[in-house]
Chain A
Amino acid sequence: MGISYHSYIGTTVDQLPKLPCSSNGHLSLSTPVGSCVDKYGRIWLADTAHNRVLVFDSEMDQILASYGTVGAGQEQFNMPFRLHAHPDKNWVYVTDIGNFRVHIVEYTEQLHLRSIKVFGSEPEVELKGPNGIVVHSGKVCVADEFYEGPNSQSRLVIFSEDGKFERSIEEIEPQGGGDSVHLLWPQGLSLDNNGNIYIANTGFATVVRCDWQGKGVTFKASGKCYIDGLALSRGVSVIQNRMLIPGGEPNAISVYDLNGQFMGRLDGFFAPVQVTQAIEANTLLITEPFLASLQKHAVNLSTLKGGKSRATRVLKTIGDERDNPGQLHFVTSVVGDVTRTQSGYSSNAPIFEHWVEHQLAFQEQLVKVMQPPGLPSWLSIALSAQTEWVQRWQQTMVRIFLNDKFDDPEDLLWMMDSGNYQLQATEDGQSDSARPISLPMLPGSLGISSLIPKRALPGQLDPEVPLLVVSNYLSGIVTVLQYNDTLGEMVPYTVFGGLGTGDEQLNKPQGIAIDPTNNDILIADSGNNRICRWRLADTGGPFLVHTFGRLGSEHGEFHTPSDITVDAQGTCFITDQNNNRIEVYDQAGKWVRSFGQEGYGTDNGNFLLPTSIDHENGYLFISDLVNRAIKVFTCSGKYVESFSGFGADREKGQLWLPYLLHVKNSKVYLPDCALNRVNVYQFNI
């Protein structure tokens, strides 16, 4: 047995014209994370999955510089993550998380850039995941996200400002005594005016406050040195004497005062990660990695109080053009197979098609430019999404008008291009070969599986082409799509589910599998912590067979089941994500056994957030999210081998946020929703 990286699908669009150039119409970002403002007011952005740092003018009108390429050399990055501008010197610190090190980039007023120091990979330090970074009084503090201490805790690492290692902080000691506070997967860091460090402690969903000696600094409101009860804690920023926690509540930035009192929330976001103070008063820079954008917002934080909600005013948004031909945006799932070595596709009218694409792109830009600055954040995000969604419709119409179809729709690899609200497909699996093949999909479309009925169903237009079953995370709706040969598009055949906790409803459905013994549809109903088994009757109508599981950590219980696969005997294997184990059930929904336990490791049977699962020839293939590994097991749960790699180097098959994998004909197709591509691995059994 051997598993190795083969190729990837998804066009990379990272070319820029001669700089400086306008940021409008030239910029396709790939999951940007960190930002900072330098001494001249210029805005720096980590274009993380493109392995570069971009510099803009303070208005974000112009791209002034692009720094770095992929690699491990002096001026290279593998996932530049967070940025921090030195308060006095012309230095910007860049955490280079995939290379386990930190850069100091020196800049001039004319924007000559050079890396003057790279640190953190020395043997006495060996950073395992440098993420957040802050600088104060000649010292640097780095959050080492994937470091494993004696109790598996992560750590903070203190350096001199020029990168000399001083010490690690592995435990936060509360001021008034009591149990030590541990860090798990700390990400963003920030500082208040007293130099206290604020830590987004992601693994515990808290924000911890301590000094530079690791002493916890108590919040008056809670009497503890951490903020609790957050939905997520990926970042934290102290701005205008307020603590801003992106994602502290769903689709919002939670705002606390520095006593730990909840003041309210800023609404109208998708999944914000980094908030940075811009040079203008009451103005914030906010990165939305999964929307591929950097945004400038106006809001007066001092008037937000009483736990209220408030929309910011959006002054400017750049990026988010991720719908170029062959490009993927937040690709979440895959089904089918690549059967050809060469594409049989040729457009009927390539010049006309190109012209139409150009016009639609121009139209999109125009609509964005026409959006007046100052729109409320929630309206801006809705309008942007709707503009893109309407454009998908227009593109569908053009394809139908041009009779633009795949030659063999029964032999395709299908990809859920969730961020572009469409399904894409490829015949040959070449990196730039993805093409749209569906009516626009609703926002939140996520999992996908294929189903071939034993007999053609009533109303099924082309029984040669598999039905595709699609889960929608936001609406809880499962759609069964069929191929319409007249249109050359996938169109809805039937729907079921819908958001809720009732027996026939779903809440945040993710992975889908088809039981090969009877064509039942099994859905990982992650928000309801259960598995749902549905069936299409001979009439084509869907009905619920049964559900099993409930919230918990005992056998028969789940905590966020994210994916499922069913073997030839009807046995179900489920990734029980937050319980860090694989649960095995029989066809009747009865628990059989479990395997796996929590822990680091790229070549063992440990898991940290196992996310997806599929099988072939008696082997299970499991994507282990935090360990960034595809682990192979026998169906009895014995670890066999793995492929692993953390980073954004497309030539090495590295992973950042791998989602729902698919195994077919000795190939593993693994979509990475942050790298915006589908990695293809091959194995021999």
Chain B
Amino acid sequence: MESVFKRAQGKKLLHRKSQDEKRVCQKSEAHSRDLMQQFQEVIQHVEKNGKDEDTCREALRRLYSSHESCFSSQKVTEPHE
């Protein structure tokens, strides 16, 4: 008889193949795209204000609300995800 390890591996692989047909959740994919956009804004802030401490702090204060919305938009545990 095939070892238990081999059978468990095979079973997991079959399960994974059946799951792969469902692909990635579209809603999560859209959230990820939003996050990428938010990141681009963060990076622009940092690039513009990298060497000046006061403007850096001000940029960070703005980023605070920006990042907060990033987080709340992620909804990683909302029902039906």
Contact = CB atoms under 8 A, between A and B. Distances in A.
Contacts of A184: 4-5, 8
A493 B43 contact: yes
Interface string B24-68: 100011011101100110110011001111001100100110011
B77 to A, nearest CB: 5
A492 B45 CA distance: 10
Contacts of A396: 60
Contacts of B46: 484, 491-493
Interface stretch (A73-81, A107-115, A133-141, A386-394): A386-394
A378 B3 contact: no
Interface in A15-69: none
A589 interface: no
B13 A495 contact: no
A553 B79 CA distance: 34
A156 B25 CA distance: 38
A578 B5 contact: no
A442 interface: yes
Instruction: Label chain B's interface by main secondary structure.
Output: helix
A69 B20 CA distance: 45
A152 B4 contact: yes
Given A400-B60, A486-B50, A268 B8 contact: no
B25 to A, nearest CB: 8
Interface stretch (A87-95, A350-358, A359-367, A473-481): A473-481
A222 interface: no
A390 B57 CA distance: 16
A476 B32 contact: yes
Contact of B80 (A309, A461, A505): A309
B50 A477 contact: no
Contact of B3 (A491, A501, A598): A598
The contact size tier of chain B is 35 or more
A492 B39 contact: yes
B8 A204 contact: yes
B4 A203 contact: yes
B50 A501 contact: no
Nearest to B68: A390
Given A203-B4, A486-B56, A553-B13, A499 B80 contact: no
A70 interface: no
A392 B47 CA distance: 22
A393 B75 CA distance: 19
A601 interface: no
A559 B16 contact: yes
A484 B56 contact: yes
A382 interface: yes
A270 interface: yes
Given A477-B35, A486-B56, A498-B32, A152 B5 contact: yes
Interface in A540-561: 551-553, 559
Interface in A133-179: 151-153
Contact of A153 (B4, B11, B12, B42): B4
A82 B26 CA distance: 38
B67 to A, nearest CB: 7
A516 interface: no
Contacts of B70: 442
A477 B43 contact: no
A251 interface: yes
Contact of B13 (A310, A479, A499, A552): A552
Interface in A379-438: 381-382, 385-386, 389-390, 393, 396-397, 400
Contacts of B1: 151
Contacts of B8: 184, 203-204
Q: Which 6 A-B pairs have the closest CB atoms?
A: A499-B32, A598-B5, A267-B79, A495-B39, A203-B8, A152-B4
Given A182-B4, A268-B77, 14 more contacts: A151-B1, A203-B8, A205-B15, A389-B68, A390-B68, A442-B35, A442-B70, A443-B76, A477-B32, A498-B29, A559-B13, A578-B16, A598-B6, A608-B5
Interface of B: 1, 3-13, 15-17, 20, 23-24, 28-29, 31-33, 35-36, 39-40, 42-43, 46-47, 50-53, 56-57, 60, 63-64, 67-68, 70-72, 74-81
12 contacts: A204-B11, A268-B79, A382-B72, A385-B71, A386-B72, A389-B71, A393-B64, A393-B67, A486-B51, A495-B40, A499-B32, A505-B29
